[in-house]
Structure 1
Amino acid sequence: MIDLTRAVDLSSAESIALWRITNDGVMGGVSEGRMLFNGGHGIFSGHISLENNGGFSSAFRPVEGVPTKLHSIQIDIQGDGNCYQLRAVVFDNGYRLAYKQDFDTVAGQRQIFTFPLVDFKASFRGRLISNAPILVSSDVREVGFLVNNHKAGDFTLSVFGIAFLEGG
Structure 2
Amino acid sequence: MSQVTLTLFQFSEQASLNTWRIINDGVMGGLSEGRITLSETGHGVFTGFVSLENNGGFTMAQHAFSPKDVTDYSSLEIRLKGDGKKYQIRVKSSSSQSYNYSHTINTTGDWQTISIPFSEFLPQFRGRRLDKPAYPGKTLGEVAILIGNKKPEEFRVEIDKISLK
Distance across 1 between alignment mates of 2:126 and 2:93: 14
- TM-score scaled by structure 2? 0.88
Amino acid at match of 1:83: K
Give the aligned CA root-mean-square deviation in angstroms. Answer: 2.0
Q: Specify the alignment match of 1:137 in structure 2.
A: 137
Distance across 1 between alignment mates of 2:117 and 2:6: 18
Unaligned runs of 5+ in 2: none
CA deviations on 1:56-103 (whole Å, 9 max, x unpaired) are 0001011333432210001111011110011101249x6422111101
CA apart distance, 1:41: 1.4
Q: Specify the alignment match of 2:160 in structure 1.
A: 160
Residues 5 and 139 from structure 1, CA distance in 2 versus in 1: closer, same or farther, beyond 3 angstroms?
A: closer
Q: Alignment identity in percent?
A: 35
Q: Specify the alignment match of 2:10 in structure 1.
A: 9
CA apart distance, 1:11: 2.3
Matches within 5 A, 1:5-154: 5-12=6-13, 14-38=15-39, 39-64=41-66, 65-91=68-94, 95-107=97-109, 109-131=110-132, 133-154=133-154
Residues 140 and 160 from structure 1, CA distance in 2 versus in 1: closer, same or farther, beyond 3 angstroms?
A: same
Unaligned runs of 5+ in 1: none
CA apart distance, 1:8: 1.5
Distance across 1 between alignment mates of 2:15 and 2:158: 17
- TM-score scaled by structure 1? 0.86
More helix by percentage: 1
CA contact (8 A) 1:13 1:37 kept: no
More strand by percentage: 2
